[in-house]
Structure 1
Amino acid sequence: MGEKPSWALALEEYNAEAKAKAAARAKAGGASGEGATEAPPRREGKLDKLGQIPPFFKPRVTEDTFDKHVKLATIHEYVKSSNERILSGWNLEGVWGMLVQISEEHPDTKDKFVTYAGVCNMAETLFEMLGPMLSFHFTPSKFLSFRRNPVGGISSVCYFTAICQRNLRLKIKLLLLSHDRDGSGMITMEGLESVFDEIVEKNMIQDVPLAQSGFRTAWKRIALHKFVVHLSRSRRVRPTDRFSIKSILRSRPFRQLTELPTLSMNIFYQGPLMKKIESNWFSLQSAQQVHRAFLNLDQDNDGFITKEEFRKLEPGMTDIFVERIFGEHVTSFDPNAVDGNQTPPKLSLKRRSSVLMMRKRMETSRKSKRGCMSYNDYLTFMVAWKDKSDPISLKYFFTVLDLESQGYLTHVQIHSFFREVFEKYLENNQYNDIRMEDVRDEIFDMVNQETPGMITMKDILDSSVQETLVDVLSDYNGFWRYDNREYLMQMEEEEEQ
């Protein structure tokens, strides 16, 4: 007979545990019945009614159930079977070599492309070499998802890039599922950190020896913070918090993480594509830039930056915008969470005086750092600032722009923020014919408001102008880019050519 399936083993284990628990309860009941006296009758009254548990109350199940065993067994079987579909570095190099052989060259652009007939012939050869695990890479729907040239071919580089990214997504997905300890589809913060540790140790995303470098811890913290900002419902994240694996796989950070090149893809990223990779939050270049900027701002190396230091991050940022950032999103050293008033333990007189002195110094340091931005607050700002088109970023900046916390922006609030931007613009541009009122009206024109004179967050998202809106109202350089957008677009087209 063959090996029993996982669900059968789980069922046997569950039945054995159930019999053991039933026997233990019967034994305990028999022991308690010997010599037991009849319990006095319960007194019915007001207290008894107040103590009753409501009928809608469902106690949390703490013991292992059969459903849990089945879910864990199913996850185990899925991870085991899916591991056979993962391509190693050698496999990817073999796929690329075969793709190069069947590729044709476009006579005009000199780009390499492959036709569907060539892909089918390549798939048959790979099936004989590597087995059926490659079948989902060569389906007609995968081929039709790419833009085709006049002869019906698709870019060889783009096709191979998609295979590598799909392979990377599967790897990380299996890592997340392997850290689901109870079959609930959730992963703890500790489990998510372990996933990133494995990503770094196995060098899944880029050809950089992070595992041997001192930047590994900083990169992992920067990468994790973006996931936390998108998945957490509160500003303060606790180690016991858990996140949905399905939400992680569907999130924007996961898509950006899997867009990074693997070891086999680095040879393709040059020019504009390399710039796109460097701007990715999870790339080594971006993480080093974010981390180095904080170190440069923190002049006294105490782990916090003041408003004056923060203004040096973006010289074109206005004072009112900085004040609102610190007022709304700096959560460090909450005055209501001060623990300096706790009663010190009863110690000897000498030891007690040293403890009191230490607490006094901590309290003084805490008061001096109130209103300063911590590293976590800085990372949250950078997550929003570097990707203003993200809805999560708009939520961050909308609370800054909404001066009265009304849930919408008015002409007065738009005028208040743009006035400082316009003053800086006049200081740096001697010749201009821009009127502040015209720009304010232009902002309202580009946003399709449901209620005239009131811009809600939904209006901005529907109009897809969140990046432009934040740039114009917060930063002089951002407004300059908006005012010279046609010239900049022309320059980008010339560089691509």
Structure 2
Amino acid sequence: MELDPEFVEEFANLKVSTRKISPEELASFNEKAPLRERSQTKHPSYAHIPQFFYVPPPPADRLRHLLRKEAHSVFLQQQAEEQLDSEELNQLWDRLKEHVTETTAKKQQLISYDDYCKLQSIVGDKCRKYLTARLFAYLLCDSAYLGFVEVATIYNYTIRKVWLTQCRIGLSFYDEVGQGYLREFDLENYLVDLLPTLSQIRDCMQPSFQKFYVCTAVKRFFFFLDRLRTGRIRIRDILASGMINELMELRHEPKKTDTETETEESSPPNCFSMPAVLAIYENYLSLDQDHNGLLSKQELVYYGSGTLSSVFLDRVFEECHTYDGEMDYKSFLDFVLALDNRQTPQGLHYLFRMLDVHHTGYLTEQTLHYFFKGIQEQMVAFSEEAVNFEDISNEIFDMVKPKDPRKITLQDLNNCGQGETVVSILIEFHKFWAYENHNNNPQNI
């Protein structure tokens, strides 16, 4: 793009000054403004660039806001009508079985590309959008049968794609801004409307507990997906995370197996299930000894094993939002999610913020010593033999292997694979003691 020579000369003559601008100079500057506008907005190439961003109407413009919202709803409704329903999916399965090319000795039904093309020609327009040549080529890459794809694989892919699209449309209905993300308020509304369809929750939840369940579920989404704490998460991130799948599993009754033990060992508990949410809420109530609905530092001392260091808890109450020095349920949820998921980037991010006393973005040997003093205090309380800090500091730096040998960043903790161990031995005595005695008494740190 070639700039106007007059504009280039004018820009080159600009100088930084702290003096006040006179009215005459300001008027002269405004007279030259059209020159700048002409040089920036009248370039021929601008006519070939389509508009790709539309600024949403401000909240004060009520009419435009309602019009945009109504247009968005109509669009989503049209998208929903184009999705395959259960009857159409059943018909697709029948058509797939009719076009099976061959069946293996293990009863695996396979289809070739020629028969796949024949199938494309007889299905309706809605099905044809899914049964593309690209899909067949994609599934063929992972097929164990040369030149063939399993019929069940095509059907399962179609069901999965339909489900994800329907889920995205459902979430988009609550996107008040219309920019592809949900705020906490939007996600809360979505969950409130979704709860009646979750049979595992609906049949055992008291109405008074609903707001606590919604709060717990929303906080889990935002803790893992809103890493920059912007107060919003993208709908595409919600779908890609798999968390929405876990939530939707609660629509169906759990599968019965021969024994309850087999069920527990075969799959991890659903974090959105009523027992999982109740466990967190009941823990909060049990810690709230004065029953004022908030947790003080003296009450939070008894969390978990009861060996979190006082230095670490001081930092928690310094960094977290509190009410007259006491923690509410939302802050407690962040605290629990971080300690229960120390191995994740999100958990390490939360804990690193507590460890980064001076907000420098890195930990030094002095920082480690500051937190280790809390561990040493507990060692004295439990009448344990003192441990040399220099040995612990050297072990930590050896585990992390930071780029700067004197500074440990959050990225270093994530990269080393030992971040969970490092933060645990700095904030919790029983984790430190388990690490210190792992040769004689192996445990998971």
- Choose the corresponding residue for 2:221, options 219, 227, 232: 227
Give the secondary structure class of the aligned counterpart of 1:172.
Answer: helix
Mapped to 2, the partners of 1:385 and 1:378 lie a distance apart of 11
For 2:300, give the aligned amino acid.
F
Mapped to 1, the partners of 2:197 and 2:89 lie a distance apart of 16
> Which residue in the other structure is 2:42 paired with?
none
> Which residue in the other structure is 1:81 paired with?
79
- Runs of 5+ in structure 1 lacking a partner? 1-43, 103-112, 238-242, 334-369, 490-497
1:65-117, Cα deviation, whole Å (9 max, x unpaired): 9999899757744553345546669979x98xx99xx9xxxxxxxxxx98573
> Which residue in the other structure is 1:109 paired with?
none
Q: Is the 8 A contact 1:332 1:373 kept in 2?
A: yes
1:287 aligns with 2:277: yes
Mapped to 2, the partners of 1:160 and 1:433 lie a distance apart of 63
Shift in Å, 1:435: 5.7
Mapped to 2, the partners of 1:266 and 1:160 lie a distance apart of 23
For 1:312, give the aligned amino acid.
Y
Which structure 2 residues correspond to residues 393-412 of structure 1 after superposition, within 5 A? 393-412=347-366
Q: Is the 8 A contact 1:471 1:478 kept in 2?
A: yes
- More relative contact order, 1 or 2 (CA 8 Å, 6+ apart): 1
Mapped to 2, the partners of 1:468 and 1:377 lie a distance apart of 24
The CA RMSD measured in Å over matched residues stands at: 5.3
> Which residue in the other structure is 1:324 paired with?
315
Mapped to 1, the partners of 2:25 and 2:203 lie a distance apart of 63
> Which residue in the other structure is 2:254 paired with?
266
For 2:173, give the aligned amino acid.
S
For 1:308, give the aligned amino acid.
Q
Q: Is the 8 A contact 1:115 1:153 kept in 2?
A: no
Worse-superposed segment, 421-430 or 225-234: 421-430
Give the secondary structure class of the aligned counterpart of 1:304.
Answer: coil
1:277 aligns with 2:269: yes
Q: Is the 8 A contact 1:161 1:265 kept in 2?
A: no
1:418-461, Cα deviation, whole Å (9 max, x unpaired): 3443664687797x997654333221112131111110112112
1:389 aligns with 2:389: no
CA change 1:416–1:73 in 2 (3 A) is: same
CA change 1:423–1:170 in 2 (3 A) is: farther
Q: Is the 8 A contact 1:306 1:371 kept in 2?
A: yes
- Choose the corresponding residue for 1:175, options 153, 163, 170: 170
TM-score (norm 2): 0.63
Shift in Å, 1:249: 2.4
- Choose the corresponding residue for 1:216, options 210, 213, 216: 210
For 2:344, give the aligned amino acid.
D
- Choose the corresponding residue for 2:429, options 467, 471, 476: 476
Give the secondary structure class of the aligned counterpart of 1:117.
Answer: strand
Shift in Å, 1:167: 5.7
Mapped to 1, the partners of 2:30 and 2:253 lie a distance apart of 64
CA change 1:70–1:471 in 2 (3 A) is: same
Give the secondary structure class of the aligned counterpart of 2:316.
Answer: helix
Mapped to 2, the partners of 1:428 and 1:160 lie a distance apart of 61
Mapped to 2, the partners of 1:86 and 1:481 lie a distance apart of 55
For 2:193, give the aligned amino acid.
E
> Which residue in the other structure is 1:359 paired with?
none
CA change 1:460–1:138 in 2 (3 A) is: same
Give the secondary structure class of the aligned counterpart of 1:267.
Answer: coil
- Choose the corresponding residue for 1:309, options 293, 299, 304: 299
Mapped to 2, the partners of 1:90 and 1:418 lie a distance apart of 63
Which structure 2 residues correspond to residues 346-385 of structure 1 after superposition, within 5 A? 370-385=324-339
Q: Is the 8 A contact 1:119 1:138 kept in 2?
A: no
> Which residue in the other structure is 1:364 paired with?
none
Give the secondary structure class of the aligned counterpart of 2:201.
Answer: coil
Give the secondary structure class of the aligned counterpart of 1:473.
Answer: helix
Which structure 2 residues correspond to residues 15-414 of structure 1 after superposition, within 5 A? 45=23, 76-77=74-75, 79-82=77-80, 84-85=82-83, 117=110, 135=131, 141=138, 169-181=164-176, 183-203=178-198, 207-209=200-202, 213-214=206-207, 215-229=209-223, 230-231=225-226, 243=232, 247-250=234-237, 254-260=241-247, 261-264=249-252, 266-267=254-255, 270-274=263-267, 276-278=268-270, 280=271, 282-314=272-304, 315-329=306-320, 331-333=321-323, 370-414=324-368
- Choose the corresponding residue for 2:405, options 446, 449, 452: 452
Quick one: percent identity of the two aligned structures? Answer: 19
Q: Is the 8 A contact 1:200 1:211 kept in 2?
A: no
1:379-421, Cα deviation, whole Å (9 max, x unpaired): 2212322222333332321121122322211112223323443
Shift in Å, 1:325: 0.8
Q: Is the 8 A contact 1:316 1:475 kept in 2?
A: yes
- Runs of 5+ in structure 2 lacking a partner? 1-21, 38-54, 101-105, 258-262
Shift in Å, 1:140: 6.0
Q: Is the 8 A contact 1:408 1:457 kept in 2?
A: yes
For 2:364, give the aligned amino acid.
T
For 2:312, give the aligned amino acid.
F
Q: Is the 8 A contact 1:297 1:313 kept in 2?
A: yes
Give the secondary structure class of the aligned counterpart of 1:406.
Answer: coil
For 1:441, give the aligned amino acid.
N
CA change 1:399–1:153 in 2 (3 A) is: same
CA change 1:323–1:446 in 2 (3 A) is: same
CA change 1:135–1:162 in 2 (3 A) is: closer
Mapped to 1, the partners of 2:341 and 2:309 lie a distance apart of 19
CA change 1:73–1:81 in 2 (3 A) is: same
> Which residue in the other structure is 2:18 paired with?
none
1:15-55, Cα deviation, whole Å (9 max, x unpaired): xxxxxxxxxxxxxxxxxxxxxxxxxxxxx956985998999
TM-score (norm 1): 0.58
Which structure 2 residues correspond to residues 409-448 of structure 1 after superposition, within 5 A? 409-421=363-375, 424=378, 436-448=389-401
